[in-house]
Amino acid sequence: MKKIISIVALMLFTCAMAFAQDGKKNVAVEEFTYNTSIGTNWVENLRNNIIGGITKTSRVNVVDAKNLTSLPSDKEARLVALGEIVDVILNCHFNSMTTGKNKEEYTCKASFTITLTDAKGGAVISTTPFEESWYTGDTQAEAITNCLNEVTSHMKKFIDDNFKSEAIVKQLDQVDDKKGVKTAYISIGSNAGITVGQMFDIMEEVEIAGEKASKKIGDAKAQEVVSGTLTLVKITKGGVEIKKAFDAGHNLIVVTRAKKDPFGLGDLLE
Q: What is the 3-state secondary structure (H, E, C) of the chain?
A: CHHHHHHHHHHCHHHHHHHCCCCCEEEEECCCEECCCCCHHHHHHHHHHHHHHHHHHCCEEEEEHHHCCCCCCCHHHHHHHHHCCCCEEEEEEEEEEEEEEECCEEEEEEEEEEEEEECCCCCEEEEEEEEEEEEEECCHHHHHHHHHHCHHHHHHHHHHHHCCCEEEEEEECCEECCCEECEEEECCCHHHCCCCCCEEEEEEEEEECCEEEEEEEEEEEEEEEEECCEEEEEEEECHHHHHHHHHCCCCEEEEEECCCCCCCCHHHHC
Instruction: Check residue 99 and give its pLDDT.
Output: 94
Contact 83, 120 (CB under 8 A): yes
Instruction: Check residue 263 and give its pLDDT.
Output: 42
Instruction: Check residue 260 and give its pLDDT.
Output: 61
Instruction: Check residue 9 and give its pLDDT.
Output: 45
Instruction: Check residue 22 and give its pLDDT.
Output: 60
> What pTM, to 2 d.p., does this model score?
0.81
Instruction: Check residue 197 and give its pLDDT.
Output: 93
Give the Cα-Cα-Cα angle 237, 193, 155 (nearest 5 degrees). 85
Cα(166)–Cα(249) distance, rounded to whole angstroms?
A: 19
Note down pLDDT in tens along the chain; length 270 residues.
444 444 444 444 444 444 545 678 999 999 999 999 999 999 999 999 999 999 999 999 999 999 998 888 888 999 999 999 999 999 999 999 999 998 889 999 999 999 999 999 899 999 999 998 878 899 999 999 999 999 999 999 999 999 999 999 999 999 999 999 999 999 999 998 899 999 999 999 988 888 888 899 999 999 999 999 999 999 999 999 999 999 999 999 999 998 764 444 443 333
Contact 202, 238 (CB under 8 A): yes
Instruction: Check residue 264 and give its pLDDT.
Output: 44
Q: Is CATH 3.40.50.300 correct for 2-163?
A: no
For residue 4, the number of C-alpha atoms closer than 13 Å in the C-beta half-sphere is: 10
Contact 34, 94 (CB under 8 A): yes
Instruction: Check residue 12 and give its pLDDT.
Output: 47
Contact 174, 182 (CB under 8 A): yes
Domain residues of the chain, as ranges? 2-163, 166-257
Of 67, 80, 77, whose CA–CA distance to 15 is shortest? 67
Architecture of domain 166-257: Beta Barrel (2.40)
